[in-house]
Protein backbone atom coordinates (compact mmCIF):
# COMPACT_ATOMS: atom_id res chain seq x y z
CA UNK A 1 0.00 0.00 0.00
CA UNK A 2 1.21 3.53 -0.82
CA UNK A 3 2.43 5.50 2.17
CA UNK A 4 1.08 8.80 0.85
CA UNK A 5 -2.15 9.92 -0.73
CA UNK A 6 -2.34 11.21 -4.31
CA UNK A 7 -4.63 14.24 -4.44
CA UNK A 8 -5.49 15.99 -7.67
CA UNK A 9 -5.97 19.74 -7.95
CA UNK A 10 -8.03 20.76 -10.97
CA UNK A 11 -5.52 23.00 -12.71
CA UNK A 12 -7.52 24.75 -15.42
CA UNK A 13 -7.72 28.16 -13.70
CA UNK A 14 -7.66 29.63 -10.19
CA UNK A 15 -5.55 29.28 -7.05
CA UNK A 16 -4.08 25.87 -7.86
CA UNK A 17 -0.63 26.52 -6.35
CA UNK A 18 -2.02 27.48 -2.91
CA UNK A 19 -4.00 24.23 -2.62
CA UNK A 20 -1.05 22.17 -3.85
CA UNK A 21 1.14 23.80 -1.19
CA UNK A 22 -1.28 22.90 1.62
CA UNK A 23 -1.61 19.30 0.41
CA UNK A 24 2.16 18.89 0.09
CA UNK A 25 2.67 20.32 3.60
CA UNK A 26 0.22 17.68 4.87
CA UNK A 27 2.29 14.89 3.29
CA UNK A 28 0.12 14.21 0.24
CA UNK A 29 1.31 14.14 -3.34
CA UNK A 30 -0.42 17.03 -5.16
CA UNK A 31 -1.15 16.23 -8.82
CA UNK A 32 -2.20 19.06 -11.20
CA UNK A 33 -5.13 17.76 -13.27
CA UNK A 34 -5.56 19.14 -16.79
CA UNK A 35 -6.44 15.98 -18.74
CA UNK A 36 -8.88 13.10 -18.06
CA UNK A 37 -6.12 10.48 -17.74
CA UNK A 38 -4.65 12.43 -14.79
CA UNK A 39 -7.71 11.52 -12.72
CA UNK A 40 -6.65 7.87 -12.73
CA UNK A 41 -5.34 6.61 -9.39
CA UNK A 42 -6.26 9.71 -7.40
CA UNK A 43 -7.38 9.31 -3.79
CA UNK A 44 -9.11 12.72 -3.70
CA UNK A 45 -9.60 15.88 -5.76
CA UNK A 46 -9.63 19.62 -4.98
CA UNK A 47 -11.64 22.08 -7.07
CA UNK A 48 -9.99 25.47 -6.46
CA UNK A 49 -11.38 28.97 -6.41
CA UNK A 50 -11.30 31.00 -9.60
CA UNK A 51 -14.08 31.80 -12.05
CA UNK A 52 -16.68 29.03 -12.04
CA UNK A 53 -17.98 29.71 -15.56
CA UNK A 54 -14.43 29.66 -16.99
CA UNK A 55 -13.53 26.42 -15.17
CA UNK A 56 -16.81 24.87 -16.38
CA UNK A 57 -16.07 25.87 -20.00
CA UNK A 58 -12.46 24.66 -19.87
CA UNK A 59 -13.48 21.37 -18.24
CA UNK A 60 -15.65 20.67 -21.27
CA UNK A 61 -12.98 21.76 -23.76
CA UNK A 62 -10.41 19.45 -22.10
CA UNK A 63 -12.86 16.53 -21.79
CA UNK A 64 -12.84 16.59 -17.98
CA UNK A 65 -16.48 17.32 -17.17
CA UNK A 66 -17.90 13.79 -17.58
CA UNK A 67 -14.91 11.99 -15.99
CA UNK A 68 -15.14 14.28 -12.95
CA UNK A 69 -18.90 13.73 -12.69
CA UNK A 70 -18.27 9.97 -12.87
CA UNK A 71 -15.57 10.17 -10.18
CA UNK A 72 -17.95 12.10 -7.89
CA UNK A 73 -20.71 9.55 -8.53
CA UNK A 74 -18.40 6.67 -7.56
CA UNK A 75 -17.43 8.30 -4.25
CA UNK A 76 -14.12 10.07 -4.91
CA UNK A 77 -13.58 12.54 -2.02
CA UNK A 78 -13.71 16.08 -3.43
CA UNK A 79 -13.27 19.46 -1.74
CA UNK A 80 -14.37 22.62 -3.55
CA UNK A 81 -13.57 26.16 -2.40
CA UNK A 82 -15.43 29.24 -3.70
CA UNK A 83 -15.77 28.51 -7.45
CA UNK A 84 -15.13 24.86 -6.57
CA UNK A 85 -18.18 24.92 -4.30
CA UNK A 86 -20.26 26.32 -7.19
CA UNK A 87 -19.02 23.47 -9.40
CA UNK A 88 -20.11 20.89 -6.78
CA UNK A 89 -23.57 22.43 -6.28
CA UNK A 90 -26.59 20.81 -7.91
CA UNK A 91 -28.14 24.24 -8.57
CA UNK A 92 -26.71 27.74 -9.15
CA UNK A 93 -28.47 31.08 -8.86
CA UNK A 94 -27.10 33.75 -11.16
CA UNK A 95 -25.32 31.33 -13.50
CA UNK A 96 -24.34 32.74 -16.88
CA UNK A 97 -26.16 31.35 -19.93
CA UNK A 98 -25.11 27.77 -20.58
CA UNK A 99 -23.12 27.42 -17.35
CA UNK A 100 -23.14 23.91 -15.88
CA UNK A 101 -21.77 22.29 -12.76
CA UNK A 102 -20.34 18.87 -11.96
CA UNK A 103 -22.97 18.58 -9.23
CA UNK A 104 -23.00 16.14 -6.36
CA UNK A 105 -23.95 18.28 -3.36
CA UNK A 106 -27.67 18.83 -2.78
CA UNK A 107 -27.44 22.61 -2.42
CA UNK A 108 -28.26 25.80 -4.28
CA UNK A 109 -25.55 28.47 -4.33
CA UNK A 110 -25.76 32.12 -5.36
CA UNK A 111 -22.74 33.28 -7.39
CA UNK A 112 -20.92 36.42 -6.20
CA UNK A 113 -23.45 36.75 -3.37
CA UNK A 114 -21.17 39.08 -1.40
CA UNK A 115 -20.44 41.40 -4.33
CA UNK A 116 -17.28 41.99 -6.33
CA UNK A 117 -13.58 41.87 -5.51
CA UNK A 118 -13.73 45.08 -3.43
CA UNK A 119 -16.22 43.41 -1.07
CA UNK A 120 -13.72 40.68 -0.18
CA UNK A 121 -13.28 40.12 3.55
CA UNK A 122 -11.75 37.87 6.19
CA UNK A 123 -13.42 36.51 9.29
CA UNK A 124 -13.19 33.70 11.81
CA UNK A 125 -15.76 30.92 11.71
CA UNK A 126 -16.78 27.87 13.67
CA UNK A 127 -16.73 24.81 11.39
CA UNK A 128 -18.42 21.66 12.62
CA UNK A 129 -15.88 19.00 13.56
CA UNK A 130 -12.95 21.43 13.80
CA UNK A 131 -11.72 22.58 17.18
CA UNK A 132 -11.47 26.35 17.64
CA UNK A 133 -12.13 28.84 14.88
CA UNK A 134 -11.16 28.75 11.21
CA UNK A 135 -9.59 31.75 9.48
CA UNK A 136 -11.73 32.26 6.39
CA UNK A 137 -11.10 34.53 3.37
CA UNK A 138 -14.07 35.43 1.14
CA UNK A 139 -13.27 36.70 -2.39
CA UNK A 140 -16.28 37.24 -4.70
CA UNK A 141 -17.70 34.35 -2.75
CA UNK A 142 -20.89 32.36 -3.31
CA UNK A 143 -23.50 31.87 -0.59
CA UNK A 144 -25.34 28.60 -0.02
CA UNK A 145 -29.02 29.58 -0.21
CA UNK A 146 -30.58 26.11 0.05
CA UNK A 147 -29.33 23.01 1.86
CA UNK A 148 -31.16 19.91 0.67
CA UNK A 149 -31.99 16.80 2.66
CA UNK A 150 -28.84 14.92 1.63
CA UNK A 151 -26.42 17.75 2.51
CA UNK A 152 -25.43 19.20 5.87
CA UNK A 153 -24.41 22.76 6.73
CA UNK A 154 -21.05 22.76 8.55
CA UNK A 155 -20.25 26.50 8.67
CA UNK A 156 -22.38 29.62 8.96
CA UNK A 157 -21.68 33.33 9.19
CA UNK A 158 -22.76 35.19 12.36
CA UNK A 159 -25.84 36.43 10.47
CA UNK A 160 -26.83 32.85 9.63
CA UNK A 161 -25.69 32.57 6.00
CA UNK A 162 -24.45 29.05 5.18
CA UNK A 163 -20.86 29.05 3.87
CA UNK A 164 -19.77 25.44 4.37
CA UNK A 165 -21.44 22.15 3.51
CA UNK A 166 -20.72 18.42 3.50
CA UNK A 167 -22.40 15.47 1.83
CA UNK A 168 -20.86 12.01 2.00
CA UNK A 169 -17.33 12.28 0.60
CA UNK A 170 -17.88 15.84 -0.69
CA UNK A 171 -16.96 19.13 1.04
CA UNK A 172 -17.58 22.66 -0.12
CA UNK A 173 -16.82 26.07 1.36
CA UNK A 174 -17.59 29.58 0.11
CA UNK A 175 -14.29 30.71 1.60
CA UNK A 176 -10.61 30.04 0.94
CA UNK A 177 -8.84 28.39 3.91
CA UNK A 178 -5.72 27.87 1.77
CA UNK A 179 -5.12 31.65 1.59
CA UNK A 180 -4.14 31.95 5.27
CA UNK A 181 -2.42 28.70 6.09
CA UNK A 182 -5.56 26.99 7.44
CA UNK A 183 -5.07 23.27 6.77
CA UNK A 184 -7.80 21.51 8.72
CA UNK A 185 -10.38 21.31 5.94
CA UNK A 186 -7.76 19.77 3.67
CA UNK A 187 -6.96 17.38 6.55
CA UNK A 188 -10.63 16.41 6.58
CA UNK A 189 -10.44 15.68 2.84
CA UNK A 190 -7.40 13.45 3.46
CA UNK A 191 -9.28 11.63 6.24
CA UNK A 192 -12.13 10.93 3.79
CA UNK A 193 -9.56 9.66 1.29
CA UNK A 194 -7.91 7.36 3.86
CA UNK A 195 -11.29 5.96 4.88
CA UNK A 196 -12.02 5.15 1.22
CA UNK A 197 -8.57 3.61 0.57
Q: How many residues does the chain have?
A: 197
Q: In a 3-state reduction of DSSP, which class is residue 96?
A: coil
Backbone φ and ψ for 47, nearest 5 degrees, come out as -105, 110
Selected catalytic residue, list 18, 19, 178, 182: 178
Q: How many CA atoms lie within 13 A of 126 on its CB side?
A: 4
Secondary-structure breakdown of the chain: helix, strand, coil percentages, each rounded to the nearest 5: 30, 30, 40
Chain centre distance of CA 92: 15
Selected catalytic residue, list 18, 19, 176, 186: 176
Report the alpha-carbon distance of residue 105 to residue 162 in Å, rounded: 14
Selected catalytic residue, list 82, 128, 135, 186: 82
Report the alpha-carbon distance of residue 41 to residue 11 in Å, rounded: 17
Determine whether 176 is an active site residue. yes
Closest CA relative to residue 72, chosen from 90, 96, 54, 55 = 90
Active-site residue numbers?
82, 176, 178
Amino acid sequence: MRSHLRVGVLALQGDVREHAGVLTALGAEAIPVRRPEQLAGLDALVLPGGESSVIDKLSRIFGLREPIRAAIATGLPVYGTCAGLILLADEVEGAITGQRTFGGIDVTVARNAFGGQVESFETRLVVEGIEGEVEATFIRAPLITRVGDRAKAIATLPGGGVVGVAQGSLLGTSFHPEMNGEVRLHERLLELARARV
